[in-house]
Amino acid sequence: MILKDKTLQNTVSPTAKAGQKQEQDVAFFLRRAFKDHKEVYVINDFKFTHNDETAQIDHLIVYTFGFILIESKSITGEVKVNGLGEWTRSYNNNWSGMASPIKQVELQQKLLKELLHENREIILSKLLGLKQQSFRFRCWDNLCAVSSNAVVDRDSMPKGVSKQLVKTEFLVETIEKVMNLKTNIFKVLSIDTRPDFSEEELKSITSFLMNQLNDDNASAIESKDKKIVNKEELVDKPKLVTDSLLQCKSCGEKSDYTAQYGRYGYFIKCNKCETNTTMKMPCVSCGSKNTKVSKKKETYTLNCGDCELSATLI
């Protein structure tokens, strides 16, 4: 299932255009293979922020047993990797060094692990209702997809890197081998010892990740519907801080509750009557229902898409 397609940007330089074309090609193959798959979720161009660090994953796959991160690289010449993991590429018969895409995606994976682990209690269910499950023992794999017309020198390349480096045309085949998902018949006949996510947990994980895309990470956004007199002048969104806008929809409790995350977004669970109440509500300023709830560390904020008010919920 494709949760987010590749975001197209206005690019000028030939290098940027080639990079975007490569990401589009990868997104195309992923869409062809997994758009109707019920156990595989694809998020293209996934940008998120955690602990004041920002990462952008070209293609993120969430499936029954874990996660696959894919870095796209447009390489039309030859690529080599020596025994130390150092990358070089050729262009018009000229060789130059390049940053390792494998190291880059490893850093992205580390930050994603930290984000999910910190929020595991509101994403994953407890094992048999007793022990909180974790993301640490799931399958985590990284791949680098290079242009199909690249020349890959695998003779001197470390085996580990060669396994992760895939031409775009063979990407889906490699992903399927990594996931190793069984059909319903083989599920009954074989035993898979890998810890898996339930259908509800997959929906909770992907909903949580998609919600991270809605966080306001930009310092300023120009509105096409408003006349900008001075583009260098940044106008902050209005903010409202209140004691508490949240209360239990059943008993009216305003403080004794626990913030949680579920299939339909953020909500509070009343510790007195155990009723669940969504955090999403109409804007407290203009009454618009075009609102969303975002979370940064332990702070939950209601953001209005119409009047742009931000109100702190917790």
Q: pLDDT tens digits, residue range 100-117?
A: 999 999 999 999 999 999
Buried/exposed 12-37: b ≥16 CB within 10 Å, e otherwise: eeeeeebbbebbebbbebbeebbeee
On whether the pTM is more than 0.85, the answer is no
The H or E element containing residue 27 is helix 14-34
pLDDT top residue among 93 and 159:
159
Buried/exposed 116-148: b ≥16 CB within 10 Å, e otherwise: beebeebbbeeeeeeeebebeebbbbbbbbbbe
pLDDT value at residue 227 = 34
Q: Cα dist. 196→32, 63, 118, 143, 226 in Å? A: 25, 9, 19, 21, 48
pLDDT top residue among 290 and 229:
290
Only one residue has tokens 């869409």, namely 31
pLDDT top residue among 14 and 39:
39
- Least-confidence region, from 56-65, 128-137, 190-199: 128-137
**Residue 223 pLDDT > 50:** no
Only one residue has tokens 């682990």, namely 117
End-to-end Cα distance, the chain: 33
What is the pLDDT averaged over residues 175-190?
A: 79
Q: Cα dist. 25→10, 89, 279 in Å? A: 17, 21, 39
**Residue 220 pLDDT > 50:** no
**Residue 3: count of CB within 10 angstroms of its CB:** 16
3-state secondary structure of 88: strand
Q: Where are the domains positioned within the chain?
A: 2-212, 239-312
Residue 217's pLDDT band, with cuts at 50, 70 and 90, is very low
Enter the tokens of residue 110: 């580390």
Task: Name the nearest CA neighbour of 65 among 177, 232, 164, 219.
Answer: 177
Pairing of strands 53-63, 40-50: antiparallel
Give burial (CB, 10 Å; 0-12/13-18/19+) of 287.
exposed
Angle value at C-alpha 308, between 302 and 310, nearest 5 degrees: 30
What is the pLDDT averaged over residues 144-164?
A: 93
What letter would DSSP give residue 126?
E
For residue 241, give the amino acid letter. Answer: V
